[in-house]
Amino acid sequence: MGPAVASVQKVVSMIKAGANAFRLNMSHGSYAMHEEFITIIRAAEKKLGTYVPIVLDLQGPKIRVADFNGLDQLTLIVGREVRLADVSVIKAKKYQISDSLIPVHYPTLAKDVQKGDQLLLDDGLMKLEVLSTSADTVKCVVVFGGTLKPRKGINLPQTTVSQPSMTSKDRADIRFGIEHEVDYIALSFVRSANDVDLVRKYIAKYGGSQPVCAKIEKPEALTNIEAIVAASDVVMVARGDLGVEIPAESVPMVQKQVIRICNRHAVPVITATQMLESMITNPRPTRAEASDVANAVLDGTDAVMLSAETSVGAYPVEAVHYMRQICTEAEKAILSEARSTSQSSGTLQTKEQNTASIAAAASRIADETRVSAIASLSYSGETARLISSCRPRAPIIGITTLKSVARRVSLIWGISGMVVDSVSTTDDIIEEIKSALVADRILPSTATVVFTIGRPLVGRARTNMISIETLAPSQKRES
């Protein structure tokens, strides 16, 4: 979300073009602005009668250049020496900001870096090398120069950053997200599974239940990737900072590795950053961008994400449209292939092995009988997620009594959320869902649907039953 799409009409157009979820970037904008975005998304959702998840993306310990006290920019010249100091130091010692003194938001910079470390500015466009440190300043030489503007990011690929993964700003942003009932919390610069656990505990402390998305953008995260994936509800391959922290040529293989691990754990995964970058200013993507999006889909990603293309770009709806078209073409190739062993045998690495077996069986039945859809009735959306991980050819309808769950499952590959008011007996709820699918014109009355459900419903049992149904009343084929 951003200024370019800050209207109900625009968001409606984006959803119709293929958008399934919206991200609030808490690195930019005020709470008033984000509150307006939430209101717009919910209004568009209601107008279309659909369920759209909102992802609140925390800034995390992002190290940034500070404001320049009236200067528009600083010029860094190759070979020149520059000093960096935290804004608190500059204010206390009344230093003068200039081309040779750069203010930063990083109180422990002088303690964390050492001689020989590299500092990358503005996504690596400029590079400094540390010559020496004092108690409160860092002396560097400019290796790659350029024009530096305020609030640009700083990456330290060779430095162990001492700042915590969840900052005071993040805590305030999480409370804002809970208050406004966002659907996911995305944690930036995750380094270990413990980072994910701390955020989850903080969400629970303030009465929230939002799933946690771990953003992979630090080398330390790659070292701990198996544990991070196992601890997370969703994972994002955030290629922007990741491509600065590690060599750019390593990013494609890291992307494939992370997606493969997520698929094995049945954890939804998002691929993000610069996917259709040229469409910030151009009405069509490049062929290379189309290949990038398609390859992410072929790798097994659940979602692909647009950033500046929609938030500030000139062609936000068109960007969504093209991305959807590329995904559709790539998925035709995936769904026309034979199912792999891992997709069909229920060998996913998950704690809910019985549910995973039901999910795999439902997926196999859908593929073998070519049914129109898989309808999964679940209070938590767990079974729908596991069915999705099997990548069945049939679309998945995640049915629940909670709008929040219907929204959350809509982020996951192949799932559309649907809400029923209440549940009674198993037979009654199946008939009610069948009637609703026909009445809402989701499926024709001749359609055959695989249902997964837990019995007894009143006891909120885990999914333990599969039923194959036609939607015409009283036309059960097989149970």
Give the CA-trace dihedral at 243, 238, 32, 105, to 10 degrees.
-40
Strand partners of residue 286: none
Q: Would you list the DSSP string of 215-258?
A: EE-SHHHHHTHHHHHHH-SEEEEEHHHHHHHS-GGGHHHHHHHH
Name the residue among 278, 257, 259, 280 with its Cα closest to residue 270.
259
Which residue do the tokens 């055959």 mark?
448
Pair 164, 61: CB distance under 8 Å: yes
* Separation of alpha carbons 103 and 88, rounded Å: 9
Pair 386, 266: CB distance under 8 Å: yes
Q: How many CB atoms lie within 10 A of CB 442?
A: 17
Q: How many CB atoms lie within 10 A of CB 9?
A: 11
Angle at 385 between CA 276 and CA 212, to 5 degrees: 70
Residue 354 C-beta-side C-alpha neighbours within 13 Å: 7
Task: Tell me which residues are annotated as active site.
Answer: 23, 64, 215, 273
